[in-house]
Amino acid sequence: MTAGSPDSMKRAAGRRAAEMVENGMVVGLGTGSTVFYAMERLSERISAGLEVTGVPTSFQAAIRARELAIPLSDLDGHPDLDLALDGADQVDPSFRLIKGRGAALTREKCVAAAAKVLVIVVDSGKRVECLTAPVPVEVIPFAATPAALAIRRAGGTPVLRTGVAKDGPVITDNGNFILDCRFPGIGDPERLESLLTGIPGVLECGLFTGFCPKTTVVVGEGKGCRVIPGRTVQGI
């Protein structure tokens, strides 16, 4: 892992985010490589005496947390979380996000909604002036074709996500499909999020526009990382 590489920036940001966890907190654990670095640091802190409970957003996050000896619960046991640690595909200057590369967007959005503070951990390449990445959409298999048609009518180009180590479509932890939807421009992310989630059969989309005030972004950079707090964290 060379200094200044995306992996080194992710590691620096993830470990810095883990330092924001305080003793006794209940913490949402996102899905993906960046959060894994945060979980590694949490495991080290737990070994040194930190008491924390994690709420994972996917089977993958739960498996990794158990391997790292992080105690786990769920939203039934802890519907209110102190903090959530997660990554993002892109984040704009207003802290609006595109998420879902790990196909855990619905559970990640549930955990983000339950948390007092949402800590997004990214490398510097994920910060953009305008959201442009494909928007993942989780849809029930029964409605995948009409949902894709509705997305096309809205100006998007949906592509069914297929597996890498399996044949056929990716199946989410909820038993659904993922449509990766590219749009020629996302000038109004809030409106697009509302439009996509209003399509019958769509469970959720990867636009996260409702959590900006309580979002803090930890950005891994070439020589360390930078913490950019949101309005709630700043006390405004």
Residues with active-site annotation: 108
Which tokens go with 160? Answer: 């069914």
Strand order in the sheet with 90-91: 90-91, 97-98, 207-208
Helix, strand counts (H, E) of the chain: 7, 13
Strand partners, 15: none
DSSP string, 135-178: EEEEE-GGGHHHHHHHHHHTT-EEEE-B-SSSSSB---TTS-EE
By the 8 A CB rule, do 31 and 60 touch? yes
Residue at token pair 């008491």: 51
d(CA 200, CA 203): 8
d(CA 35, CA 62): 12
Tell how strand 81-86 and strand 26-29 pair up: parallel
